[in-house]
């Protein structure tokens, strides 16, 4: 039976409890989110009807700093999924060495069925519903599956309007000057309430590509540590969204041989598996024209399940969770899996992959490039700075190399696998921060 993502997240945590000397009470705290808000969002549809959408914001742990994590729009969103994603964010921020805790949000919706106006009203309605618990120093949302910088722009605008009207109300009630948000600088800081924003609203250069870029830096570090050459290493990437596309494109630019790609409609593999390769930019242009990667010239159509079992060296799940399970784990032929999606491998599958000697670079390290550059965006907004793209990328690279090195060291010292090393490192750091703060 496939467990829900939160059960998986708890199980991953249980597995490393043996290596950590944590008091039971503390362990019980980190096993659950600190707060989960469930909201019902009424949205006026284009036909005049009012439809209610359910959404969530889960705040797992803030010992290291404000809660941080994306907002997902998907028909399969569940409370448990959002809770799991918020817990993974806590560990991810700890691994990445940034002063944030873990949060995540989601709305049960198929955004492809909404008009642009309906999507905007839903985004704004969600912010009005969660506004009491978010802010630049409390909880900072960002994009995730099916949300992008446009959605962040609507959300930020709604948030700023809300904050301004709150200040106006306070002023008229208590009739004395409130200095908060009085000047331009303070209003600039409000922009730090969301990351992944458009550039002209305080977004950071390099944020869009950051998750994929960070994943490629991580892969480069891995092959360096394994002492193998990247020449002729073949890669299959599942998912052609923000994460999958930029990972594929940067890997391609750096000389890896990309042989298979996919989206929700299906997957493609080069006809000539020995020599052929895909140029992700060309595949993306084709997808934008036709609506899918399926049918790209010079490729065979296969299913998303078949993509996971291809004879490649590197497999990159970059779509959704629970795609490698106990059912198909034994059929994976790649010897490296880079988890660019969150939670793509179930704990049962992890054991099988481990036994088969497959190296799994865990999501909380592999896809941490996104939250690292989100942190840079937040820092730029808080300090009123704008960094060059080359600086953003350099700083991202330095952090990814450092995070990789920390986990590699833990893995070697404790004689555990990569995921266990990541959990040991992250949980230890969060628990120490909890002990240093008032619980």
Interface residues with ligand NAD (CB under 6 A)?
Answer: 143-146, 211, 238-244, 262-264, 304, 318-320, 340-342, 367, 370
Determine how many CB atoms are found less than 10 A away from the CB of residue 371: 28
In the complex with ligand NAD, the residue whose CB is nearer, 153 or 240, is 240
- Tell the smallest beta-carbon distance from residue 250 to ligand NAD (Å): 14
Burial of residue 165, with CB atoms counted within 10 A of its CB: 0-12 exposed, 13-18 middle, 19 or more buried: exposed
- Tell the smallest beta-carbon distance from residue 201 to ligand NAD (Å): 17
In the complex with ligand NAD, the residue whose CB is nearer, 373 or 416, is 373
SS3 for the chain, per residue?
CCCCHHHHHHHHHHHHHCCCCCCHHHHHHHCCCCEEEEEEEEEECCCCCEEEEEEEEEEEECCCCCEEEEEEEECCCCHHHHHHHHHHHHHHHHHHCCCCEEEEEEEECCHHHCCHHHHHHHHHHHHHHHHHHCECCCEEEEECCCCCHHHHHHHHHHHHHHHHHHHHHHHHHHCCCCCCCCCHHHHHHHHHHCCCCCHHHCCCCCHHHHHHHHHHHHHHHHHHHHCCCCCCCEEEEECCCHHHHHHHHHHHHCCCEEEEEEECCEEEEECCCCCCCCCHHHHHHHHHHHCCCCCCCCEEEECHHHHHCCCCCEEEECCCCCCECCCCHHHCCCCEEECCCCCCECHHHHHHHHHCCCEEECHHHHCCHHHHHHHHHHHHHHHCCCCCHHHHHHHHHHHHHHHHHHHHHHHHHHCCCHHHHHHHHHHHHHHHHHHHCCC
- Tell the smallest beta-carbon distance from residue 178 to ligand NAD (Å): 36
- Tell the smallest beta-carbon distance from residue 339 to ligand NAD (Å): 9
- Tell the smallest beta-carbon distance from residue 278 to ligand NAD (Å): 15
In the complex with ligand NAD, the residue whose CB is nearer, 359 or 366, is 366
- Cα–Cα distances (Å) from 131 to 43, 104, 371, 407, in that order, read 17, 14, 21, 36
Of the candidates 15, 92, 104, 189, the residue annotated as catalytic is 104
In the complex with ligand NAD, the residue whose CB is nearer, 145 or 270, is 145
In the complex with ligand NAD, the residue whose CB is nearer, 12 or 262, is 262
In the complex with ligand NAD, the residue whose CB is nearer, 367 or 410, is 367
In the complex with ligand NAD, the residue whose CB is nearer, 129 or 243, is 243
In the complex with ligand NAD, the residue whose CB is nearer, 17 or 328, is 328
- Tell the smallest beta-carbon distance from residue 255 to ligand NAD (Å): 23
Pairing of strands 101-108, 266-270: unpaired
- Tell the smallest beta-carbon distance from residue 190 to ligand NAD (Å): 22
The reply to whether 274 belongs to the active site is no
- Tell the smallest beta-carbon distance from residue 223 to ligand NAD (Å): 22
CB-closest chain residue to ligand NAD: 241
Contacts of 146 (CB under 8 A, 6+ apart): 72, 73, 74, 111
Catalytic residue annotation: 104
């Amino acid at each position: 039976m496939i467990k829900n993502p939160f059960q998986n997240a708890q199980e991953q945590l249980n597995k490393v409890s043996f290596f950590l000397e944590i008091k039971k009470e503390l362990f019980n705290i980190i096993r659950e989110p600190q707060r989960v808000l469930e909201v019902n969002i009424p949205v006026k549809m284009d036909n005049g009807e009012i439809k209610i959408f359910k959404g969530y914001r889960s705040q797992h742990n803030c010992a290291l700093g404000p809660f941080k994590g994306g907002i997902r729009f998907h028909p399969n969103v569940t409370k448990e999924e959002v809770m799991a994603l918020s817990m993974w964010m806590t560990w991810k921020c700890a691994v990445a060495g940034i002063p944030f805790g873990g949060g995540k949000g989601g709305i049960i919706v198929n955004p492809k069925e909404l008009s642009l106006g309906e999507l905007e009203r839903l985004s704004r309605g969600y912010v009005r519903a969660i506004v009491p618990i978010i802010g630049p120093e409390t909880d900072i949302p960002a994009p995730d599956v099916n949300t992008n910088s446009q959605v962040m722009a609507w959300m930020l605008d709604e948030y700023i309007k809300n904050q301004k009207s709150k200040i106006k109300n306070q002023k008229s009630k208590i009739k004395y000057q409130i200095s908060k948000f009085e000047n331009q600088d303070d209003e600039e800081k409000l922009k730090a309430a969301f990351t992944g924003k458009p550039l002209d609203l305080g977004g950071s250069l390099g944020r869009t590509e950051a998750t994929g870029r960070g994943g490629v830096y991580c892969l480069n570090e891995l092959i360096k540590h394994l002492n193998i050459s990247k020449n002729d290493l073949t890669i299959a990437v599942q998912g052609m969204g923000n994460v999958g596309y930029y990972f594929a494109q940067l890997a391609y630019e750096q000389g890896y041989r990309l042989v298979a790609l996919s989206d929700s409609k299906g997957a493609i593999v080069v006809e000539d598996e020995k020599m052929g390769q895909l140029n992700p930019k060309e595949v993306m242009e084709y997808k934008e024209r036709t609506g899918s990667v399926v049918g790209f010239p010079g490729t065979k159509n296969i299913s998303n399940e078949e993509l996971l079992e291809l004879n490649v060296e590197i497999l990159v799940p970059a779509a959704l969770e629970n795609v490698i399970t106990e059912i198909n784990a034994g059929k994976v032929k790649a010897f490296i899996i880079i988890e660019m999606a969150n939670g793509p491998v179930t704990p049962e599958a992890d054991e099988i992959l481990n036994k088969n000697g497959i190296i799994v670079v865990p999501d909380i390290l592999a896809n941490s490039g996104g939250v690292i550059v989100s942190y840079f965006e937040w820092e730029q907004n808080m300090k009123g700075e704008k960094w060059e793209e080359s600086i953003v990328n350099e700083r991202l690279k330095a952090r990814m190399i450092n995070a990789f090195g920390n986990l590699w060291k833990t893995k070697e010292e404790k004689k555990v696998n990569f995921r266990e090393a990541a959990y040991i490192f992250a949980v230890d750091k969060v628990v120490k921060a909890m002990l240093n703060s008032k619980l």
